[in-house]
Chains A and B, each alone.
Chain A
């Protein structure tokens, strides 16, 4: 972040990828106008940034790219009906927008070295998990981690995001990849079933593992008991929270859950931490 934490860095939209059949999830690949800004924007998987569309405002979005992917910054954004995501979805490559960050804490990529990694995602909440996975499997990092298991599901085949990359992950022999859909269609030959159900079939024991769970609240609600039953300590189950945010630096006062500010103490919390907080999120 620069001297003024409210001023975004100018960036240009390089590429826009429509990620799903409903066409309401798009990935935006951004390049920094000023190379100095790219150097200053030093982030880790799990962090987020405020995206500015001039004239419409800002919204907080988790980084979908990994810091190992030099030269671009990627955000995957669902058009929720909000002012900024709607404006962003109308933009074409070449347009300039702003990015302010990196903000918040990150997944503990250093603390989990040597562990078995379980990445469990649902729907379009796979974005920062994609950042994490891309980071972990980078040639410089892959040897630092033991087995990596990915369980990812969506409502239907057309709603899976990052389809091209999923195909590449499935080809790797150093990843266990389980892609599932709630409801298959005539072209789908993969797994069918909810993410917690698949997780229960795949994860039998804790086995020095650490789990990262992101998805719709209902998915998280039913996945956490599966992990606890397998023996995962609550301190080793991580999730990422969302709240309405404005400043992103713990001042504007709206993203707190009890005494914790999602923008500053989070967005990544362990299940053990969440158990200490009021259920107001």
Chain B
């Protein structure tokens, strides 16, 4: 096991910045989110998780798909950055959410070129969670605070250092690039790593048993239980904008003079406009239907199409809901009612 001492982390990041565009958690408008850093000092290391979802680095809130010069009529795509990217400090739940998005953006072999251009260009240095939040429930959705899935390199914070493990081939290459800065772990540090890993999993105290939920939900579309959940929902859409597996988007044109650019931007199933047809017909006109859609999509429809649930237990929707809707309570209720 190799380590990077805390007082050498600055050198570690500087080395990475020689080769890569490095994105890391920084403080912006009083919220922690991932941004490209220009100095290691910007990086916030004391954080449970970022406010914004890091999937925005791969699927940004708004992006230009292409531009059209109306005189030429030929769609042109914007240029792509060529320097490889490192995402430093992404949490295991969020790394896992990217594996879930991979499935959507590669459905039936139709690749989303914008998403995969960024995804294939990036290396994930995942930071294990030694201090999970009270809203975290990753262990209920098949993951955990030290889940290495989706990581290229995995870091765990110890008292004096970070344990560093290469997970993928890409990660091994980075490991070689920073090799000079690494040291071997002592017996005591190895013990400390094992202890912290065990403790982190114990610290996640919210447990939702989801065994058999997706099968049960298949027959519950018209169940009266759906009359309860939406009552306090104000349809603000905060949950969808912060959810790392939410991926719904809208596409529209912006025009200035002879130039048109086609943009896509996040959209939200909590809004009535989401499904409103131009004829005036709306298949989901009520908040009840929209809340049901969101829950069913993540815990039933997604399972049917991709074989896993579209929730990584990051807890952002619970932490930020203005009316205290808690997805864990919804799931518990769905599990306990008679199907």
A interface with B by C-beta (< 8 Å)? 1, 3-8, 10, 33, 52, 54-59, 80-82, 85, 96, 98, 242-244, 246-247, 249-254, 256-259, 264, 278, 280-281
Pick the contact of A259 from B113, B114, B279, B304 — CB < 8 Å? Answer: B304
CA A244 to CA B267, docked complex, whole Å: 13
Considering only residues 279-334 of chain B, those with a C-beta below 8 Å from chain A are 279-280, 283-284, 289, 293, 296-297, 300-301, 304-305
Contacts of B105 in A (CB 8 A): 251
Interface assignment of B58: CB less than 8 Å from any CB of chain A: no
Pick the contact of A252 from B248, B262, B293 — CB < 8 Å? Answer: B248
Interface assignment of B229: CB less than 8 Å from any CB of chain A: no
Contacts of B74 in A (CB 8 A): 10
Q: Which 4 A-B pairs have the closest CB atoms?
A: A82-B278, A253-B248, A55-B255, A259-B301
Say yes or no: A254-B260 contact (C-beta < 8 A), given A54-B73, A243-B283.
no
Pick the contact of A244 from B68, B112, B113, B277 — CB < 8 Å? Answer: B277
Interface assignment of B269: CB less than 8 Å from any CB of chain A: yes
Pick the contact of A281 from B249, B279, B283, B300 — CB < 8 Å? Answer: B283
CA A6 to CA B253, docked complex, whole Å: 13
Q: How many chain B residues touch the partner (CB < 8 A)?
A: 48
Would B284 and A280 count as touching, CB distance under 8 A? yes
Would B278 and A253 count as touching, CB distance under 8 A? no
Question: Is chain B's binding surface mostly helix, strand, loop or mixed?
Answer: mixed
Would A6 and B274 count as touching, CB distance under 8 A? no
Would B253 and A252 count as touching, CB distance under 8 A? no
Contacts of B70 in A (CB 8 A): 54-55
Would B253 and A57 count as touching, CB distance under 8 A? yes
Interface assignment of B275: CB less than 8 Å from any CB of chain A: yes
Q: Could you list 28 examples of A-B contacts with CB < 8 Å?
A: A4-B77, A5-B112, A6-B264, A8-B75, A10-B73, A54-B73, A55-B253, A55-B255, A55-B260, A57-B251, A80-B277, A80-B279, A85-B278, A246-B264, A247-B251, A250-B107, A251-B112, A252-B248, A253-B247, A253-B248, A253-B297, A254-B248, A254-B274, A258-B296, A259-B304, A259-B305, A280-B283, A280-B289
Interface assignment of B194: CB less than 8 Å from any CB of chain A: no
CA A119 to CA B252, docked complex, whole Å: 35
Considering only residues 110-136 of chain B, those with a C-beta below 8 Å from chain A are 110, 112-114
Considering only residues 213-257 of chain B, those with a C-beta below 8 Å from chain A are 221-222, 247-253, 255
Contacts of B262 in A (CB 8 A): 6, 52, 57
Interface assignment of B16: CB less than 8 Å from any CB of chain A: no
CA A264 to CA B267, docked complex, whole Å: 19
Contacts of A253 in B (CB 8 A): 104, 247-249, 267, 269, 297
B interface with A by C-beta (< 8 Å)? 65-66, 68, 70, 73-75, 77, 104-105, 107-108, 110, 112-114, 221-222, 247-253, 255, 260, 262, 264, 267, 269, 274-280, 283-284, 289, 293, 296-297, 300-301, 304-305
CA A55 to CA B253, docked complex, whole Å: 5
Contacts of B260 in A (CB 8 A): 54-55
- Identify 13 new A-B residue pairs, CB closer than 8 A, beyond the known A6-B264, A246-B249, A252-B248: A4-B113, A10-B75, A54-B255, A55-B70, A244-B277, A246-B267, A251-B104, A251-B107, A252-B251, A252-B264, A253-B248, A278-B222, A280-B289
Would B68 and A54 count as touching, CB distance under 8 A? yes
Contacts of B269 in A (CB 8 A): 253-254
Contacts of A247 in B (CB 8 A): 249, 251
Would A264 and B108 count as touching, CB distance under 8 A? yes
B289 — nearest CB in chain A belongs to which residue? Answer: A280
CA A7 to CA B113, docked complex, whole Å: 11
Taking the nearest CB of chain A, how far is it from the CB of B317, in angstroms? 17
